[in-house]
Amino acid sequence: MIPIISIVGKSNSGKTTLIEKLVPELKRRGLKVGTIKHDVHGFELDQEGKDTWRHAQAGVDTVVISSPQKAACIKKVDVELTLDELVCQFLTDMDIVLTEGYKRQDKPKIEVYRTELGEEPLCADDKTLIAIVSDTKTPLNVPHFGTQDIEQLADFIIKRFRNIGSKDAVQLFVNGKQIPLSRRFTQTVLHKTISGMVDSLKGTEGAEQIRIFIDEDA
């Protein structure tokens, strides 16, 4: 399973700053890190007059722009995607995903808390809270880290999610949610069955990664 950790806190508490510090520390340990930023007000990436903006104005549902260095996708959605759906569609090759925001979704949370912004932490009654990064001690029964304790926080994350960075050879996503394949037998059967079928098809020589999408309504 790809760990998803939500960095939450009140406005101006330092969520982005913490992510800026934590990402390089996790990458220094050899992990591929993805991030997701939650924007309740909506956003716009296209600049008016640019080709991708003109494509969007023409009514396309998805715009992809690609270069030798990076690629980006802007896709219209009818309802907001869940974190599991976002990871399933865009981040399956990551070792860990950090989100900024998403305090209402049931993912493990690390709260950034500053005493000057309120009397108590935002997640005081949230059972998914796993740690606090703060300028003071709070009465909550979770590990506390100072705002400069980035190495210790990374140690905590890696220890908490013990299999981080060691992906299974077979990952199963159904309706945008990753399904744990806890039994090695199940992974082996799926791996051998699918690989064997693909190997029998022309143009599949040297396949290193196989993705299959099944639409039950098609």
Q: What is the pLDDT of residue 166?
A: 66
Q: Which pTM value belongs to this model? A: 0.81
Going by C-alpha positions, the residue among 23, 35, 33, 13 that lies closest to residue 154 is: 23
Q: What is the pLDDT of residue 130?
A: 96
CATH 3.40.50.300 fits domain 4-37+61-160: yes
Q: What is the pLDDT of residue 21?
A: 96
* Three-state SS letters, the chain: CCCEEEEECCCCCCHHHHHHHHHHHHHHCCCCEEEEECCCCCCCCCCCCCHHHHHHHCCCCEEEEECCCCEEEEECCCCCCCHHHHHHHHCCCCCEEEEECCCCCCCCEEEEECHHHCCCCCCCCCCCEEEEEECCCCCCCCCEECCCCHHHHHHHHHHHCCCCCCCCCCCEEECCEEECCCCHHHHHHHHHHHHHHHHCCCCCCCCCCCCCCCCCCC
Q: What is the pLDDT of residue 42?
A: 64
Digit-by-digit pLDDT tens for the chain (218 residues) are 789 999 999 988 999 999 999 999 999 999 999 999 987 666 666 677 788 888 878 888 888 888 999 888 888 888 988 999 999 888 988 999 999 988 888 999 999 999 887 778 888 889 999 999 998 888 899 999 999 999 999 999 999 997 776 666 787 888 888 887 777 778 888 888 888 898 889 888 888 888 888 888 87
The ranges assigned to domains in the chain are: 4-37+61-160
